[in-house]
Amino acid sequence: VYNGFFKVDRYRLSHRLFEGGWSAVLQRELFVRGDATCVLPYDAKTDQVILLEQFRVGALGHDQTPWLLELVAGINDEGETPENVARREGAEEAGIEFGELKPICQYLVSPGGTNEKIHLYCGQVDASTAHGVHGLEHEGEDIKVHVVSAQQAFNHVVSGKINNAASIIALQWLQLNRNKLKAEWS
């Protein structure tokens, strides 16, 4: 149907019904994104997280700013492991290097319309190295780094200032695992 920066495929399919038999033939469009990796950079010694602020076209038309606070993230290139994506994107988007990467979970973003799967991590960092504006010019990236206390980030979730799924999931995971990470990473 469409093949540009992103891709949309059209399917005609039927599937087995719970009560037996088959469904009618359905037509569905699928927004093809594939896998991506997101990382919450966390400094256990200072109890700070690194958040990235950048423009997101999907936030236009909603009652909010299109400049969102998010995690380090990138699309997985073919043959690239999620861990390699995490390390590449940490350098490109925030000028940081990750130590240990702790897997949080993997999840399907919105399987009713896209095949995108997120590999979500918490990454060990030294927050004192994070500052400035980063991103790849040829990708149109203009990414501002913010270093905030973990508590301030949790408050941003409660207030709705952070309202994207990967960031919310990662920060709630950090709330549950913060003391353990402090003991391991300090």
The span from the CA of 29 to the CA of 148, in Å, is 40
Active site residue 141: no
Q: Which two tokens stand for residue 152?
A: 């301030």
The span from the CA of 103 to the CA of 123, in Å, is 9
Least Cα distance to 40 among 180, 147, 112 occurs for 147
The span from the CA of 170 to the CA of 143, in Å, is 20
Q: Which of 19, 78, 137, 139 is catalytic?
A: 139
- Taking the CA atoms of residue 54, residue 81, residue 8 and residue 69 in that order, the dihedral angle to the nearest 10 degrees is -20
Q: Which two tokens stand for residue 142?
A: 């203009």
Q: Which two tokens stand for residue 56?
A: 């997101």
Active-site amino acid positions: 139
